[in-house]
Structures are given as C-alpha cells and as structure tokens.
Structure 1
Amino acid sequence: MTLLLGRRGLLRAGLATAALPGLRGMAFADPAAAAEVPLLIFIFLRGGMDGLHFLSPADDADFVALRIPTLRNAAEGERAGQRLDASPATDFRLHPEAAELAEIWRQGRMAIWPAAGVPQPTRSHFEAQAMMGLGQGHAGEASGRGGWLAAWAERVSGPAPVASLAGQERLTAELAGGHRGLALPSLARGLDLPGGAFGVAMLEALHARAAGPMGIAGREALLRLQSLDRALPRGPGGQLLPYLPAHGADYGPAAEFGRGLATIAQVARLQPGLAAAALDLGGWDTHDGQAGRFEGRVRLLSRGLAALDADLRDLPRRWTVLVTSEFGRRLRANRSGGTDHGRAGTVFAFGGGGGGGGRRSFGLGRHFGPWPGLAADALEDGVDLRVATDYREAFRQVMAELAPTAPAPFGRG
C-alpha cells in the first residue's frame, strides 16, 4: 500500500509514543547497508516540453530556417544559449536560463539524449504519459501492474520502511503500485493525521486485528509514518525544527517545485533506504506565447535542480536525477507564437553522492545520445524531430549505471 498524505492530513506529535505492535522493534536499515542503497529521483515535465527550445542545435541550417528566433537558443548575442560542446558536428546550446544545468554538464556529471521518446507515434498527453508511467513502448503492451519506478525501488531498497516517495500531494503514475511508498508534499508541519494522537490510536485499533491484505497494509502504512515521524528533528520542547539544506542550497527561487525537491532531500537523509522519489513540474504545454512562459519554466527547473544538487552533495550514497517529458514539440512554430505537440524530446540525467565531496564519477557523464538531424528527409511525418532513442533505453542506461545488478523493470521492444 502506498499512502498519500496531503496538506490536511499527516501525523503529529504523540505519534512516536503510539503502541502499534512491532513498532518498538522496527529500526532503520543498517547504516553500512543503507549506504549501498542508490537513490533515483525522477522529474516529469508534464505537458510536453519543447526539447528544441530547451536544447537547440544552434548552427543547424534547417533549424535556423524553420524556427522563429524567439523559440530557439542562439549561438551568439546577449541572450546566447549555454554552449555544451556536446557534438563535434553541431553547436548544441541549452536555454540561457539553464546555466546551472550547463555547469553540471561541464563537470562531466550529466548525460543527455536529445531525441528520445515513446516508440509508438502519439501526440496525446494522456496516452504518452500512461505509457511512460508503466514503462511501455506501445499502448496496451504487457507490463507489471504498477509503475516502473515503484517496481525498481522494491528491488533495490532492501528492508527499508520507506522505499519510494512522491514529493507532492498526488502519487505519480511511475510510483503507483508500490508497497512501501508515501506521497508527501512537505514535512514542515510534521506528520499529522486528522484527530491527532486520538485519530492515530483509532486507526491502530482498526487495523490491529484486521486479517488479510488490507489489515496488513494498514499496519505497515502506519509503521512507515511512525518511522519517519520519529526521525524528524525536534527541539527541547518537542517542537519540530525547520529543515536546513546543506551547502547553502536555496530552494526558494524554485517555489512549489523547490519545496517538493526539499522534501525529497530531507526524506533521503532521514530514510537511508529510500530508493526512488518522483516529482512533477507542469506548465510545458506551450501552444501560444511560448517564449516568456518557457523561460519561466526553465528558470524554475534549473534553479530547483541546482539546489537539489548542492543539498545532496555529501549524501553518502549514490543518487541520480532523471528528467523527461512525454514528448517534444513541432519544429515549426504555430501562428500563436507557440508550438504544437510533436514527437521526440530531451531526456537528461545527472548524478552525485557516494562520497568524494559529492562529485562522484558519473559513468554516463557527457554521454550524448544519437541525433537524427532536422533535414526534411530526417523528420517524422515531415514535421517532427524523429525519435532516435526509445526512452526506455535511456532510462535503462541510467538505472544500470546507478545499480548495475538490478534489472530494469521493463523489457525491450
């Protein structure tokens, strides 16, 4: 059972003294073993991010001829894009507001797949997101009963009480079906279920003698909450102490997205067996007025991920952030100054942790996936960047780098 905890409900003080059977004997994973549990943080840019605006082939003649200047990153000028030196043949430039991400690339801790997506041709948000959540290549394809990330977390987390976390109020599709998961937007007020300690006691009594899967799931969910609540730092009077990010990390400029990232970082420290976390950042469906809206989204994304990178620098175990969107957008802009649903988009990942001052060797560092180009005969249906990398192959490479012995939770094809 995965427990969803919104702003109106979590567990408050008095929880740690509750007497659910088995609580006193429950412990965190052995520190030495926990240091071996990797952490995969999955960021989904819902809405279909324009990969060609995020990462532009600035000197590609076809791109320059067919894309309006406000929706591409230039090679020179006051607002030139961030140069990556990713390819000897093409001058790829990240959006000017992605300076922090460009720096991670230059440090050799980032991999980029510039033309990735679902194999099945689709421009439907619902269909593409559903396939990605289940790790499918085609709609209706056989898959596990839940999300691919939840399945992976169960394989690599060991006996940890919390294996996966959504840093928001709603569970993401990738984490659906997990048996040791939480959906939690913030820990600023602790964990508080309706009714306080009395409400907790009632829930415990309800599940204490319940038989079958539901009873077991209820008891285990309460145990997970209690294990996390007990780990929250408190002052002499029992009051919760605010979370202080490490290394001067500032999540503030990333607003709500930053708060979700801070929650993930906090739980990653409190629960050393946490293996997977997920967070959505929406607002990428830019059919009109794209230039300004897109700039704001990229700014939030880059600032937030930079804060997370700094905060987790000294985490004693390996971690990787994986970022994707359901698809990219059309090569040509529409008449409203935006772009319509396309096919291939940008997937990127970066890593840290595991000692060495947070600058661990990232085996995929500076990997740059295949680029099909934007010539007329290379486009899909004559209008879209063609999918050159099955998104699952990019995900598979990330998981293999992070946990080589754990098989990916989806097949090939």
Structure 2
Amino acid sequence: MVSRRHFLRVAAAGAGAMLVAPQIVFASAETERRFVFVIQRGAADGLNIVVPYAEPAYAALRGPLAIDIDRATKLDGTFALHPSLAQMAQMYGEKQALFVHAIASPYRDRSHFDGQNVLETGGRAPYQVKDGWLNRLVAMLPASRENAIALAPTVPLALRGSVQVSSYAPSALPNASDDLLTRVSALYEADPQLRSLWTSAMNARGLAGDASARQDPASVGKLAASFLSRPDGPRIAMIETGGWDTHSAQNARLANQLKALDTMLASLRDGLGPAWDKTTVLVATEFGRTAAANGTGGTDHGQASVAMLVGGAVAGGRVQTDWPGLRTADLYESRDLKPTASLDALIAGAAAESLGLDPQRTASTLFGDAGTKYAITGLIRV
C-alpha cells in the first residue's frame, strides 16, 4: 500500500525514481553568498590528488601508482595536481582554488560508515551526535522560503536535524499532469499536516523547472547551478559523490573519478555565471588512504587526505599544509599520512567566512561536541 506521504513525493516529482549518486541537497538562507559541500564517500587518496612530488619517499612508497609529474600540473615547489583535474588547475591559476593537505576529522579508525558519521555529524566519535553540522549551519542563518530542499530520495546525515528538510527527486518518467496536481492540491488543502508537505514539494518542483534527470557529472553541476542561481533559490548545497574506495586498479579508477569531479565543478561554475564570484565549494572525504601501495594496484584505508576549496570567493592559488613527511618514522602507525590539520576547523572557517558568520561561534556551534575550539580563517576573499 502506498502511503499518502509517499504519494505526495511521487506526484510532485513526476514519479519519484530513485536517484543514482551523486545526490544533491539544498538549503535556503537570506544571503547572496553560496556554500557547497561535496563529500567524497569511500576515502579519497589525497596523496595522488595533490601529489607531494618533491617528497623523497613518495615515489618509492607508491611504485607504479606514483603520478607522472610530467603530466601533472605543478602547484609549487612541493606539490602537483593530478592530470585529470584540468579545470581545477585552471581555477588554481586564477586563484580560485586552495588545497589543504594532511587533513582529517577526529576519527582515527578505518570504517567508512563510522568515518562518514563523524564527518557529517561533527562529533568526536561515531554516533555520538544525532544531527548534522550542515543542518546546524543552516540554523545559524536567517530562514528564507524553504529552509532546506534535498534533490535525493533521502536526506544525508549532514543535513538532518532541527531544520525541516523536504526532498525533490528528478525522474525520467513523464511528469504528472497539471490537472492531477490541481486535484491533489485540493485534496490536501484542508489537511493541516499534509498541506504543508505538499506545498513544500510543489515549491521544490517549481525551483527545479525543466532540470534534467540525468546523473552524468556535467548535468549534476548544471542542475545544482540551476537551483543556486535563482533569485528565489537555495544558497547552501551538499553534493554526494561515491566510488572513491580504490583498493585495486587505482590509477584508472581515480583518474575517472577525478575527471568526473572536475567536470561537475566546471559545470557548476559555468552554470552559476556571475554568482560564482560569491560561491565557495568545499570538497572533503571521510579519511585518506595508505601511503604505500598494496599488492593489487591500489591503496587501503588510511588517515589524512587533502581537502579542496574552489570558487570565485576563495582566496586561492596556494597549498596550505604543515607537511609531516612520508618517511616510516613520520607516518601515522608507520603506514598512513599523519593528520596535522583539523577538517572540522577548515569546515568551520570556510562556512563562516563564506556566509558572513563569526568563525569561532561557527566552530563551537558546528563542532563543539568534537572539542573544536577554533576555525581556520583567511580562506575567503572579504
């Protein structure tokens, strides 16, 4: 039996098909600044994304997985960018991209589920906190129109909490007719609970307009931009990407993943037009991968990775790190890149500066349960 609540979602979305990753979540606020969080689910290999080519131990640890520096873009005298990130390299040259290396959340084990829970909730340990830091961020801003809209069948943990979230799931099936939508509107007009749900669903449908249901990277970026660029649209978004768990055949798989990410971000940039100048995109993963390659052409679960900030609002053109080194004595538990920067502090600083909030209050509100007392600042152009 189909529940009334489920029927609302199906009718408003035009049949409500299940979304394939990446998924997008939106939140509205009274600001012209945009903040986008892109999560890389699966533990992205920071050592092959922003490559420490001048590190003496890198090539020996990676062997055939080591990135060919002649094909990569040198960022400075120590680091180079993976060759699949061509658009991001251009943004870096335009000072619209910044990389923070050897960074991690407080989580120090190697479970994807637990690591993602810590990253999304902002806690010190898995399942310590029930709501998400992105929901708490939305609550710090003046509410506007719909507080949050999810372009996904379910809302990711980072945006769950006291701020109510509705969802929009694009479908490849024919849209519901205007006559049907009118009849359903009349049916639920007198229902105090379902009337608000229906209104929320119809608002989301209106914001989406003629957006494509395709899930190729360019379409995802374009769809996100179509929401974020509207005068009455949301100002905060979360995009979920998967497939970063490269235990085997890493070179080809990581190259494809990064090319897709690069395409999506470029499409978002192009779709936003002038609004790109007021946009910050933070890309981060739950943890990194081992410093040494394994025996199957890949890497295993590790600790520190790299986080990326891109956007017209970013004070970019630099790699920020307290580099720990890759000698055995320098590694975490003799196997992983050692964390020297706090991902919580980076998120707090980037979110606060992007949206005009106080950085220390933002750090306390978003990550106080993890014991984060400060925010990394100087990331965004004033």
Q: Same fold (TM over 0.5)?
A: yes
Give the C-alpha shift of residue 65 in structure 1.
1.2
Q: Is residue 171 of structure 1 aligned with residue 155 of structure 2? A: yes
Using structure 2 for the length normalisation, give the TM-score.
0.80
Indicate which of 387, 390, 393 corresponds to 2:339: 387
Larger radius of gyration: 1
Paired with 2:184 and 2:96, the residues of 1 have a C-alpha distance of 46
Separation in 1 of the partners of 2:222 and 2:8? Answer: 16
Write the distance in 2 (CA, Å) between the matches of 1:101 and 1:4: 40
Deviations 1:346-383 (A, max 9, x none): 1111122xxxxxxx5x3455351322111221100000
Corresponding residue for residue 22 of structure 1: none
Give the structure 2 partner of residue 52 of structure 1.
47
Within 5 A, what are the aligned runs for 1:1-400?
8-11=10-13, 34=30, 36-69=31-64, 71-76=65-70, 80-85=71-76, 88=77, 90=78, 92-141=79-128, 143=129, 145-156=130-141, 158-177=142-161, 179-186=163-170, 196-205=181-190, 207-208=191-192, 215=193, 218-230=194-206, 241=210, 255-270=215-230, 272=232, 274-315=234-275, 318-352=278-312, 360=313, 362-363=314-315, 366=318, 368-400=320-352
> Which whole-Å CA distance do the structure 1 matches of 2:36 and 2:218 have between them?
14
Deviations 1:19-45 (A, max 9, x none): xxxxxxxxxx9xxx95x3422111111
Q: What residue in structure 1 maps to residue 17 of structure 2?
A: none
Distance across 1 between alignment mates of 2:8 and 2:261: 23
Q: Distance in 2 between matches of 1:8 and 1:316?
A: 33
Is the CA contact 2:218–2:264 (under 8 Å) kept in the aligned structure 1?
yes
CA distance in 1, matches of 2:8, 2:86: 33
Q: Contact 1:4 / 1:171 at 8 angstroms: preserved in 2?
A: no
Contact 2:37 2:282 in 1 (8 A): yes
Equivalent residues of 1:74, 1:93 under 8 A apart: no
Contact 1:120 1:137 in 2 (8 A): yes
C-alpha distance in 1, partners of 2:162/2:38?
Answer: 18
User: Could you say what secondary structure the match of 2:307 adopts?
Assistant: strand
TM-score (norm 1): 0.75
Q: Do 2:46 and 2:289's aligned partners in 1 also have CA atoms closer than 8 Å?
A: yes
Does the C-alpha gap of structure 1 residues 59 and 230 become closer, same or farther in structure 2, counting only changes over 3 Å?
Answer: closer
Say if 1:306 and 1:149 are closer, same or farther in 2 by CA, change over 3 A: same
Tell me how far apart the structure 1 counterparts of residues 37 and 116 of structure 2 sit (CA, whole Å).
Answer: 14
Superposition deviation, residue 54 in structure 1:
1.2
Contact 1:185–1:263 at 8 Å: present in 2 too?
A: no
The answer on whether the counterparts of 1:164 and 1:178 sit within 8 Å (CA) in structure 2 is no
Number of matched residues? 347
SS at match of 1:10: helix
CA change 1:7–1:262 in 2 (3 A) is farther
Q: CA deviation at 1:58?
A: 1.3
After superposition, the Cα gap between the structure-2 partners of 1:303 and 1:11, relative to the gap in structure 1 and judged at 3 Å, is: closer
Contact conserved, 1:37 with 1:273, CA < 8 A, in 2? no
Question: 1:193 deviation in Å?
Answer: 10
1:294 CA drift (Å)? 1.2
Provide closer, same or farther for how the CA distance between residues 72 and 316 of structure 1 changes in structure 2, counting only shifts above 3 A.
closer
| 3-state DSSP of counterpart to 1:186 | coil
Report the secondary structure of 1:377's partner residue: helix
- Deviation of 1:120 (Å): 3.0
Q: Which amino acid aligns with 2:96?
A: R
Alignment deviations for residues 89-113 of structure 1 (CA, whole Å, 9 cap, x no partner):
x2x1111111111111111112211
Q: Residues 49 and 11 (structure 1 numbering): CA distance in 2 closer, same or farther, change over 3 Å?
A: closer
Q: Does the CA-based 8 Å contact 1:167-1:279 persist in structure 2?
A: no
CA distance in 1, matches of 2:135, 2:221: 18
Cα distance in 2 for partners of 1:5, 1:270 equals 28
Query: Distance between the aligned counterparts of 2:355 and 2:73, measured in 1?
Result: 31
Q: Matched residues in 2 for 1:154 and 1:4: separation? A: 27
Matched letter for residue 43 of structure 1? V
3-state SS of the aligned residue for 2:239? strand
Q: Name the residue aligned to 1:410.
A: 367
Decide whether aligned partners of structure 1 residues 261 and 173 sit closer, same or farther in structure 2, where only a CA change above 3 A counts.
Answer: farther
Q: Distance in 1 between matches of 2:298 and 2:83?
A: 18
8 Å contact from structure 1 (residues 185, 259) kept in 2: no
1:330–1:6 Cα change, 3 Å: farther
Distance of 1:345 and 1:334 partners within structure 2: 17
Provide the identity percentage.
26
1:171 to 1:64, Cα distance in 2 relative to 1, 3 A: same
